[in-house]
Amino acid sequence: MKEKILIIEDEKDIIKMLDYNLKKDGFRVASCRDGEEALDLAVSEHPDLILLDLMLPGMDGLEVCKTLKKEAKTSGIPIIMLTARAQEADKVVGLELGADDYVTKPFSPRELLARIKAVLRRAKDKEKLPQVLNIGDLKVDLSRIQVSIKDKPLELTAKEFELLTTLIKAKGRVLSRDYLLDTIWGFDHALEIQTRTVDVHIRSLRKKLKNQARNIITVKNYGYRFEADEN
């Protein structure tokens, strides 16, 4: 069965145009005109992708995006933001909040379809990531949110787990403290919580990882990276 697209857009004509073109291309379509309803539909309709207008009455697109990406049930659904040309700054914020792409209005249906297909393809590739990662004696089960060393479970906090998996998934790339802060603690808190918070959590994570702590490399004055053992 073809993928389902959820359209969140308050302009009737745009919904109509999108609905027509998406269905013509074989997609299934659901739509709504405000953010609050969108949050419900994102769960009940099981969409494969969400088209999210930035300017909505009431809860705006950025708020909807943030909420969807925060909830475990909806965080995996790719989002393409629909923005007007004057909203350049919001577009950047949208991407930082976890939106996967954006399309500037006015757009052609063809351009949008191409973007939708690209984002869906990327999402499918992501699903292929193994759910259990083995690094030396360390085993990280992403679906069960469990970490163990030599099959002995570690008691990690939620933040420590996220920190560890974010580093592992970066596959050796260096991640800055600011990036980790934004990704794990959220955009909202970036100003209140200091980058030192990352260091504090890395320290406690290393303590729990014992021998495997060697895999977390400090990059001075910048951040951290995860280096898998050579086999």
**Residues of the shown chain interacting with Ca ion in the complex, contacts defined by CB under 5 A:** 10, 53, 55
Q: How far is the CB of 55 from Ca ion (least distance, A)?
A: 4
Q: Which of 107, 108, 38 is nearest to 79 (CA)?
A: 38
Whose Cβ is closer to Ca ion: residue 53's or residue 160's?
53
Question: Which residue is at the shortest CB distance from Ca ion?
Answer: 55
The CA distance from 183 to 98, in Å, is 9
Least distance from C-beta 57 to Ca ion, angstroms? 8
Give the Cβ contact number of residue 228 at 10 Å: 14
Angle at 175 between CA 104 and CA 94, to 5 degrees: 20
Taking the least distance from each CB to Ca ion, the nearer of 55 and 190 is 55
Q: Closer to Ca ion at the Cβ: 91 or 201? A: 91
Q: Would you say 67 or 87 has its CB closer to Ca ion? A: 87
Distance (Å, whole) CA 39 – CA 84? 22
Smallest separation, CB 50 to Ca ion (Å): 15
Token pair of 78, please? 């790719």
- Say if residue 106 is preceded by a cis peptide, omega within 30 of 0: yes
Report the residue number, 26 or 57, with the smaller CB distance to Ca ion: 57
CB of 93 to Ca ion, least distance (A): 16
CB 80 within 8 A of CB 119: yes
Q: What are the Cα distances from residue 55, in Å, to 81, 90, 95?
A: 10, 10, 15
CB of 82 to Ca ion, least distance (A): 8
Q: In whole angstroms, what is the distance from residue 85 CA to residue 64 CA?
A: 20
* CB of residue 34 to Ca ion, shortest distance in Å: 10
Cβ proximity to Ca ion, 57 vs 130, nearer residue: 57
**How far apart (Å, rounded) are the C-alpha atoms in residues 3 and 17?**
18
